[in-house]
Amino acid sequence: MLNHLEKIIFNALNDFLVFGGYTKIYLKRNPSWLNIFVDLELVLRNDCIFTNSEIQIISYRCASSRPRFTLFICILGEVHNLLLAHCYCTYRELFYRNCELADSQWKVQRAVNDVCYVLNTTFWNLGVFASSKGLMAGSLLIYMSNGDVINYKAPSFVPTNFTYIDRFETTASYILLVEKDTVFEKMLSTRIFSLIHENIILVTGRGYPDIASRWILQRLHREHRLAIYMLTDADPCGIEIMLTYRHGSLTQAANGLQLTCPYLKWLGIHPSDLKHLRIPTEPLVLNDCRKIEFLLRRKYVNTGVRQELKILKYCCRKAKLDNMSINKFQMFMCDYIINKIKRQIVI
């Protein structure tokens, strides 16, 4: 990796000395659904063959691409230093180091993605990480490569530098993944570990999942054969988040195998359950209806999920777990979650 990086830096600088501002760098445009396919494991993958329309050329001579070209060369140097020192940093740290070249963090993220494309690798292999936001609690110890041990007996954040994880130690029977941190906190306050009578790992990505949470879940499932049950709101956003954990995302399709759990079991809340559950509901808004149509157009969505989306569209009502009182939520955990897991009523 380091030799490849140094060769690219040398060639880029040498070309710049010879050709000046005419030096060109070929980059991939933002990912598109047009070059996405689904493999046998139903994981979203990025087609490695790109057409001319999907390749973008930047050069120093072109005024519109000069800032991107300059930042790209600068990030190459930053990554080189990280690899030499065997250390890591976050996107935020990179942004503060280069704020004179980038007026927003997303431009730094784009530059890192450009470097990843040129080197054909992932940002975490370059020592660059996004700040983690996921939370975990339960029967889990994480041993880091520097000797640190993270005990999740009390809830704690997932480690940002997830590739520095040496190994996991757990006696859990399965993983219970919840969509939101509010539900995560409710479960802890209602003593979920005592109610279930089993060792489990409780996880939340706090909405749309971060890379660290997805990577750790995939590794836990692969190394410890832990089933993953997911609880979401009965709404289009909750279903989309579940599909992201299961099949991957458009932006990370190139790294789908490392970030997906295709055998994840959707526990609920299923829209078809709303007629039996006495929980508050609210009408769908226009954006909800649009998202349902968008999800129904995705070919990898299986029959069960597709049917639930159609029910949601037909009944025009959604339900959020946050709207339940503590007492009702405790009953919901005993009657709905535990029974569904025992009877394997999942999609």
Q: Which of 22, 26, 96, 208 is catalytic?
A: 96
117 among known catalytic residues: no
Residues 205, 136 contacting (CB under 8 angstroms): no
Strands 174-178 and 227-231: parallel
Separation of alpha carbons 184 and 154, rounded Å: 13
Is 259 within 8 Å of 247 (Cβ atoms)? no
Q: Which is it for the CA torsion 25, 30, 34, 40, positive or negative?
A: positive
Q: DSSP states of 87-147 as a string?
A: --EEHHHHHHHTTTT-SSHHHHHHHHHHHHHHHTS-TGGGTEEPPP--EEEES-EEEETTS
59 and 23 Cβ atoms separated by less than 8 Å: yes
Whether 244 contacts 207, CB under 8 Å: no
Per DSSP, 35 falls in state G
Q: How many CB atoms lie within 10 A of CB 12?
A: 18
- Here the contacts of 142-146 (C-beta below 8 Å, separation 24 or greater) are 142/168, 142/169, 143/167, 143/168, 143/169
DSSP 297-340: T-TT--HHHHHHHHHHHHH-EEB-GGGS-HHHHHHHIIIIIIHH
Q: Is the peptide bond before 269 cis (omega within 30 degrees of 0)?
A: yes
Catalytically annotated residues: 96
